[in-house]
Chains A and B, each alone.
Chain A
Amino acid sequence: SQQGEEDPQALSIQEGENATMNCSYKTSINNLQWYRQNSGRGLVHLILIRSNEREKHSGRLRVTLDTSKKSSSLLITASRAADTASYFCAADYNTDKLIFGTGTRLQVFP
């Protein structure tokens, strides 16, 4: 299986703190994508980072990609209670399918 791994599986923080989630993947990729899933809802795309990019920002989100270590990190700065959700990475291995990780459950306490 090419399924990547995410860590931690669960993360609990206070509002205002930063949250960091990590994703490891198996082989070379075309791009790495991050998604958020609120309880009872579908996945929502957050950021796509291409294999030739090292860092990307979107609002309070910062994604890094280290192709030598086959890993990516998602940083959410100044977390809010509304950021409570599950976060998934998905690897595009250039094989016409995305392979999703098992996700990190983030709980942000007010």
Chain B
Amino acid sequence: DAGITQSPRHKVTETGTPVTLRCHQTENHRYMYWYRQDPGHGLRLIHYSYGVKDTDKGEVSDGYSVSRSKTEDFLLTLESATSSQTSVYFCAISESMAGDGNQPQHFGDGTRLSIL
């Protein structure tokens, strides 16, 4: 298995509180992604990173921010959590970006986040 660790694995918090999820990789892959998974929607891309301090928005980025200060760490922050952000969040890594090299993505085991 690719060396990807997500923390925490489970979190319950209240509406309006800030939440930060962490993704740590030991593979030295350049590209990192944050997805959310909801019933009926599959995986949807929130933000991604193509290098240290280089990030871009995905399909569902509103209400989320990210930071990448080191190759191995990619943080996802919900500045003021809302109930609609209750979901399972997955981090993924890859050696190349989609459309540029035929490399798959490798996923962590997810963070189950509940916002009450």
Contacts and interface: CB of A to CB of B under 8 A. Distances in A.
B42 A44 contact: no
A48 B110 contact: no
Interface string B28-66: 000000010000111111001000000000110000000
Nearest to A33: B104
Contacts of A103: 42
A100 B107 contact: no
A88 B42 contact: yes
Contacts of A27: none
Interface stretch (B11-19, B73-81, B92-100): B92-100
B97 A96 contact: yes
Given A30-B99, A102-B40, A97 B109 contact: no
B42 A42 contact: no
Interface in B82-97: 90, 92, 97
List the 4 closest A-B pairs by CB distance, nearest first: A42-B107, A45-B104, A94-B99, A102-B42
